[in-house]
Structure 1
Amino acid sequence: MSGQGMMMFDRAAVAAHRTRAAARRGAVAPVLEDLAVRVLDRLDDTGRHFTRALEIGGRGVVAPLLAARGIEVISTDLAPAMAAVAGGPAIVADEEFLPFGAARFDLIVAHLSLHWVNDLPGALIQLRRALTPEGLFIASLPLLGTLGNLRAALIEAEAALTGGAAPRVSPFPELSDCAGLLQRAGFALPVAEREIVEFEYANPMALLCDLRDAGETNATIARSRTIPPREMVPMALASMMSGGRLLVALHLGILTGWGS
């Protein structure tokens, strides 16, 4: 989530993870749809009817929700297999190099996709240009605090076993940075809100399966390529259990801005 020239994420790995997840997304589709509904509720607050939308990275749940509102939708995804599950017209496109002209859409929705972009300011500028002057941009992304206990537990377990630790959970932005990014990209009336969504697991390994099935496994360039000690993940997950349950939180940032 950096400026141009600072490469934090391996985009080939992001695409590979989303390709793998395309065949498995049904396992987490109810969660993805619930999160998408929370984001798209913002449309009701505008009192506007939108006609032509671009949705980015919606994993097959966003496009049907928009179409049900009578909106014409074009979907994009970095991975061809994930673009194919959109349920309507879709193209393969990179958020950092969007193939759209100016003022093409009166609604753009980027749901849980922009947090894997290296040049987020540049991507936001492209998205604003693709928006009509009265159009609305809505994005959602994980904020700092998301999976915080998992990040800490993995670092502690790896350090105990090996004496060092590699980054195993992606870095996330702070809410305070998000509205500023929208404003610098030229959006009018930028708003950034936080919703905290908690998940509870009886089987702690199910958390890692859900992250994999959603295409959300680690794609940082600095990630370790070596196989971690066999005891590391079980040790980390065991330390997170309380009363036979594992609790994790998604700090969901919901960003809105208008064309200008």
Structure 2
Amino acid sequence: MSQPPAIFDTALIARHLSRRTGISDFVTDLVLDDLDDRLGALLREFPKAAIIGPDVDKLPRFGQTASARFPFQRHAAFGGHDDMPELDGDNFNLIVSLLHLQAINDVPGYLARLRAKLAPDGLLMIAALGGETLTELREAFLVADAQVFGGASARVAPMIQVRDGGGLLQRAGLALPVADVETHIVRYANPFALMSEIKALGASNPLADRPRRLATPALLAAAAQAYATRDSDSDGRIRATLEIIWLSGWAPHESQQKPLKPGSATTRLGDVLAQQTGGKKP
């Protein structure tokens, strides 16, 4: 079976992450807070659970549902040459993947391998950067590349669109798929402040087919000008979109709710609407 093309340079990502400066990682903090809320709403126990993320030291050692506290196995994303971390054993009741999926070369394969590690009725939860993340920076560099070099280069990585999330979960064999999105607008003093934070967080261009020539001062100045022209506020600060996609699905089990077969309904929608409108059918 042929391997999918390498879109992301995972070894480069690992090097970028190893050089982080200790800057406060507000993106991971947002995701972890949201994970706490989502787990806290579940009436479920997870005796065997794993969590995957770029920074193992920031991953929680325990999770808490509405029913019980439970320990996590913690695993590093981008820790080797393979997209898939080595989880200890099988039959996990819960697997959580944080900020990893957006830089996976074989997304369907990754999801299928996580699915294979779940016990029946086990839950997979994923948070990943969505397709609208840094769209302003992407557009600014497209303009700048055209001005300075006469053509476009891939300087901001493509990311998953939320509309594709449910289909990817179903393709991996997961039941009851859910995809939703959290969008945040983050403001910076100028485009260079944003670029500096991206580099400090180890999130510089991870593409295997990235431009080999360095970004010149002329290119950076043109990108900053394009960014400020298109996406600045009245106080001079610029806006950056952060989109976090959440995906969840369950390993199939006979106890799970099944969708009704087409044509099995016993009440017509028109009759229900008529009752609500005083007998006048729409």
Q: TM-score range by the shorter chain?
A: 0.7 to 0.9
Distance 1:221 1:102, change over 3 A: same
Distance 1:47 1:183, change over 3 A: same
Give the structure 2 partner of residue 5 of structure 1. 4
Give the structure 1 partner of residue 239 of structure 2. 247
Alignment of 1:86-165 (within 5 A): 94-96=82-84, 98-103=86-91, 105-165=92-152
Q: Which runs of 5+ in 1 are unaligned?
A: 81-91
Partner Cα distance (1:240, 1:65) in 2: 41
- Give the aligned length: 243
- 3-state SS of paired residue (1:186): coil
Q: Is it true that 1:176 corresponds to 2:167 in the alignment?
A: no
Alignment of 1:56-95 (within 5 A): 56-59=52-55, 60-64=57-61, 66=63, 70-78=69-77, 94-95=82-83
Distance 1:112 1:164, change over 3 A: same
- 3-state SS of paired residue (2:217): coil
Q: Is it true that 1:194 corresponds to 2:167 in the alignment?
A: no
Q: Cα RMSD over matched residues?
A: 2.3
- 3-state SS of paired residue (2:14): helix
Q: Is it true that 1:36 corresponds to 2:32 in the alignment?
A: yes
Partner Cα distance (1:143, 1:78) in 2: 18
Q: Give TM-score scaled by structure 1 length.
A: 0.84
Given that 1:54 and 1:109 are in contact with CA atoms closer than 8 Å, whether structure 2 keeps it comes out as: yes
Point out which structure has higher relative CO (alpha carbons under 8 A, 6+ apart). 1
Percent identity for Structure 1 against Structure 2: 33
Distance 1:47 1:99, change over 3 A: closer
- 3-state SS of paired residue (2:139): helix
Post-superposition Cα deviations, 1:150-170, rounded to whole Å, max 9, x if no partner, equal 101011112101112210000
Partner Cα distance (2:88, 2:62) in 1: 22
Distance 1:41 1:4, change over 3 A: farther
Given that 1:161 and 1:229 are in contact with CA atoms closer than 8 Å, whether structure 2 keeps it comes out as: no
- Counterpart pick for 2:51 among 25, 37, 55: 55
Post-superposition Cα deviations, 1:13-50, rounded to whole Å, max 9, x if no partner, equal 122122223xx2x3133442122212342212222132
- 3-state SS of paired residue (1:49): coil
Partner Cα distance (2:163, 2:244) in 1: 13
Which 10-residue stretch deviates more, 54-63 or 160-169? 54-63
> How far is the alpha carbon of 1:97 from its aligned partner?
5.9
Q: Which has the larger radius of gyration?
A: 2
Which 10-residue stretch deviates more, 42-51 or 181-190? 42-51
- 3-state SS of paired residue (1:71): strand
Give the structure 2 partner of residue 20 of structure 1. 19
- Structure having the higher helix fraction is 1
> How far is the alpha carbon of 1:198 from its aligned partner?
1.2
- 3-state SS of paired residue (2:35): helix
Give structure 1 regions of 4+ aligned residues with deviation exceeding 6 angstroms: none
Post-superposition Cα deviations, 1:62-121, rounded to whole Å, max 9, x if no partner, equal 3246389732122211455xxxxxxxxxxx684336454431x21111111111111111
